[in-house]
Amino acid sequence: MNQEQRKLNVGLAQMLCGGVIMDVTNKDQAKIAEDAGACSVMALEKIPSDIRRDGGVARMSDPELVLEIKDAVSIPVMAKVRIGHFVEAQILQELGIDFIDESEVLTPADESNHIDKWKFRSPFVCGATDLGELLRRVAEGASMIRTKGEAGTGNIVEGIRHLRTITRELKLLTQIDDSELFAEAKRLKAPIDFVRNIAETGKLPVPNFAAGGVATPADAAMLMQLGAESVFVGSGIFRSSDPAKFARAIVEATTHFNDPSIILKVSRDLGVPMPSITMESLAEHQKMQHRGW
Amino acid sequence: MIIGVLALQGGFALHLEKLHALNIETKRVVCEDDLKELHGLIIPGGESSTILRTAQSGLLQAIKEFAHSRPVWGVCAGCVLIASEVVNPEQMSLGLLDITVRRNAYGAQNESFIRRIDFGSPLGGDFECIFIRAPRITHVGKNETTVATDRDDPVMVENKLHMATTFHPELSDKLDFHRYFLRKIAM
């Protein structure tokens, strides 16, 4: 990826703003997502809550499945690779995927290195829990960031924590004295040039979306009100009692995130959200957000 | 002068930034009422199918009526939405410009590209144009003007009131295309 390609890739991330990206596991689900107004779909074999339940090593999906989903819809299609697994990424790039998610939801393939995303033409989205992690991923070439949250739990608390942390750390950079930026870069473990750029512009270098634990239209609207530019929904749609209705409701709540009358309307008589998990019931090693660094 | 930017989904924030840089008052448009008092409307890039599905009943009709007397600029997905005919797949559109548009005509993201294109006298020179999963204008009606082409494909088409670009001027650091659109309002 040269600077020209980077412009195209961050540009695509910009075009996905204000929308909902939905996890889908087959072409019928992909059509339901598109018809509900999803701006993109994430093609995968198992949604996060099933990955969590089944255990074992979670890998990139079968390319055949990804192609089938790609053929079924006109919106951009994303797919996940394991953290550090650059060959899975090469496969997805070869297949012509629109966005590659280097995702903590799958089992990491490398304990110390994320993918060098500058080596790819295709854009990457990566998860982050704080500003330092966000900037390390951007330095590696990510064109879009999403909060990690805690996928497959139907519990928004971690996604909110990550989003608020990123926003607070960003605001801090715009307030502190220039001479303090070096120490802050050290604390964040982030490149000083990126830190300085945020201090000057007050903006992140790439769009920041929210993911992990979205189960209701209210969850999606809350993330948007807190400054997320789009929302990823994993298990929240196809593990609910009425996926088409939930999908539509979450899209409407994301579009009209500042209008409680619309969020109320779409939240009424919605049915049962996905099964959920409290954070206290998860051991630290069961938390996906700790994958990656 | 107040310019609206349709803010249902897509790259609307970048257009608002460009208009602010030109000291223009702006409004995010998400429902019919937001169109009141506007002098022009930009329909931004994004996913046209998503924008269609998130537009509440009445908003699209209201934009059509708005466009009888006030300028609309469709960018990428916006170009798809203001066309008279859309293919790949066929979908509903507003018919503000007599053009046929093919969605995702160049392919997926790996086929997105940047090209320097000459816009001649109307814009005074050549510009770096950013095409992202771009649509292709495959037919231009005889009453519309093709402002610029790239390898025979029209990339900017206009009539007296409206204009469409298949690329993204809001992703560049230039303000020329936004200024050009504002001239349609002054006329």
Known catalytic residue: B15?
Answer: no
Residue B187: pLDDT over 80: no
Nearest to B45 by CA among B18, B78, B73: B78
B186 burial (CB, 10 Å; 0-12 / 13-18 / 19+) is exposed
Q: Would you state the pLDDT for residue A55?
A: 87
Separation CA A248–CA A267 (nearest Å):
11
Q: Would you state the pLDDT for residue A52?
A: 86
Q: Would you state the pLDDT for residue B122?
A: 83
Residue B180: pLDDT over 90: yes
Distances (CA, A) of B144 to B49, B65, B98, B157, B164: 25, 20, 7, 7, 11
Separation CA A48–CA A58 (nearest Å):
10
Half-sphere exposure of A152 (CA within 13 A, CB side): 18
Q: What is the tens place of the pLDDT at every residue in B85-99?
A: 999 999 999 999 999
Subunit contact A17:B11, Cβ cutoff 8 A:
yes
Name residues whose C-beta falls within 8 Å of residue B145's C-beta, 6 or more positions apart in sequence.
B157, B158, B159
Q: Would you state the pLDDT for residue B26?
A: 98
Residues of chain A where predicted confidence (pLDDT) is lower than 70: none
CA–CA min distance A253, chain B (Å): 10
DSSP label of A167: H
Q: Chain B contacts of A40, Cβ < 8 Å? A: 47
Q: Would you state the pLDDT for residue A136?
A: 98
Q: Write out the catalytic residue numbers of A.
A: 80
Q: Would you state the pLDDT for residue B62?
A: 97
Q: What is the tens place of the pLDDT at every residue in B113-129?
A: 999 999 988 888 999 99
CA A69 to chain centre: 19
Name residues whose C-beta falls within 8 Å of residue B161's C-beta, 6 or more positions apart in sequence.
B67, B69, B70, B71, B72, B96, B184
Subunit contact A14:B104, Cβ cutoff 8 A:
no
Subunit contact A74:B104, Cβ cutoff 8 A:
yes
* Cβ contact B136:B122 at 8 Å: no
Q: Would you state the pLDDT for residue A276?
A: 87
Q: Would you state the pLDDT for residue A191?
A: 96
Stretch among B53-62, B90-99, B152-161 having the lowest mean pLDDT: B53-62
CA–CA min distance B129, chain A (Å): 11
Residues of B within an 8 Å Cβ radius of A: 7-14, 30, 45-47, 49-50, 53-54, 76-77, 88-89, 103-104, 107-110, 112-114, 130, 132-133, 168, 171
Name residues whose C-beta falls within 8 Å of residue A274's C-beta, 6 or more positions apart in sequence.
A49, A154, A215, A235, A236, A239, A240
In chain A, the residue whose alpha carbon lies closest to the alpha carbon of B173 is A7
* Full-model pTM: 0.96
Report the complex ipTM: 0.96
Q: Would you state the pLDDT for residue B124?
A: 87
CA–CA min distance A5, chain B (Å): 8
* Cβ contact B39:B1 at 8 Å: yes
* Cβ contact A162:A214 at 8 Å: no
Q: Would you state the pLDDT for residue B61?
A: 95
Q: Chain B contacts of A92, Cβ < 8 Å? A: none
% of chain B beyond a pLDDT of 70: 99
% of chain B beyond a pLDDT of 90: 95
Query: Residue written as tokens 């608390």?
Result: A157
Q: Would you state the pLDDT for residue A1?
A: 87
Name residues whose C-beta falls within 8 Å of residue A196's C-beta, 6 or more positions apart in sequence.
A181
In chain B, the residue whose alpha carbon lies closest to the alpha carbon of A124 is B109
